[in-house]
Amino acid sequence: MSRNSIQTYMKEHMPLYIFVSVLFVMGVIFGALMVNALSLEQREDLTRFLGSFVASLGEASELHPKETFVSLFGMHMKWIMLIWLLGISVIGLPIILVLDFLKGVMVGFTVGYLVGELSWKGMLFALVSVAPQNLVIIPTLIIVSVSGISFSLYMVRNRILQRRGALAEPFMSYSVLTLSMAAVLLGTSLFEAYVSPTLMQWVTPMIALTQS
């Protein structure tokens, strides 16, 4: 793709990128606020789960990078393929927006809980366990979401309302972009499975101390 093509693409899709990004940020804020709504019992359950997770990080025998990679990549692929399918279905367009909002909620809740329970140590843990991969995953999902929304809008304008315009080229572009983002998520899954546990092990001692 030439520089002019990229500039044209960004100019045409920038409003969608801004809208989806703002929706995601709203999800992050909502997820962080949800932490305050947790009951004492729910907080205790989450604390026990976090304690067990941190303890497992300290035991090399409990780490299974290959199984973790397969699980993570499978999860990412299900998410991205669902967006792809919703994009070609037209009626799934609103659900794409819901998925982006929910992804923001998940990230916001995770970081909000860690920081709320562990203060700056929770922030440190979030920086090594949540932030690195999500710096890639989030833009990737936003790109696929915008592409899916754009393709749906194209079909509505050119095939349903005006009944003209070829679908083959836009469909291929949409599918190739989705596959490209899947390849990016493949690399991200490898990082999550083989590198993230090591990063988390570096901060595990202080987290374990806090939990004890």
Q: How far is the C-alpha of 141 from the C-alpha of 17, rounded, in Å?
A: 11
Asked if 183 and 40 touch (Cβ cutoff 8 Å), the reply is no
Helices (H), 35-92: 40-57, 65-89
Q: How far is the C-alpha of 158 from the C-alpha of 141, rounded, in Å?
A: 25
Q: What pLDDT, on a 0 to 100 scale, did the predictor assign at position 200?
A: 86
Asked if 171 and 88 touch (Cβ cutoff 8 Å), the reply is yes
Q: Which residues contact 171 (CB under 8 A, 6 or more apart)?
A: 88, 151
Residue-wise pLDDT tens digits, 49-99: 887 877 777 665 556 888 989 999 999 999 999 999 999 988 899 999 999
Q: What pLDDT, on a 0 to 100 scale, did the predictor assign at position 86?
A: 95
pLDDT of 203 higher than 50: yes
pLDDT of 184 higher than 80: yes
Q: How far apart are the first and last CA of the chain?
A: 54
Q: What pLDDT, on a 0 to 100 scale, did the predictor assign at position 58?
A: 63
* Mean pLDDT of the region 160-187: 86
The structure's pTM equals 0.88
What's the mean pLDDT when you consider all of the chain?
87
Q: Between 56 and 20, where is the model more confident?
A: 20
Q: What pLDDT, on a 0 to 100 scale, did the predictor assign at position 110?
A: 93
Tokens of 155: 């079909």
Query: Closest Cα partner for 73 from 146, 140, 150?
Result: 140
Q: What pLDDT, on a 0 to 100 scale, did the predictor assign at position 212?
A: 46
Asked if 46 and 113 touch (Cβ cutoff 8 Å), the reply is yes
pLDDT of 39 higher than 90: no
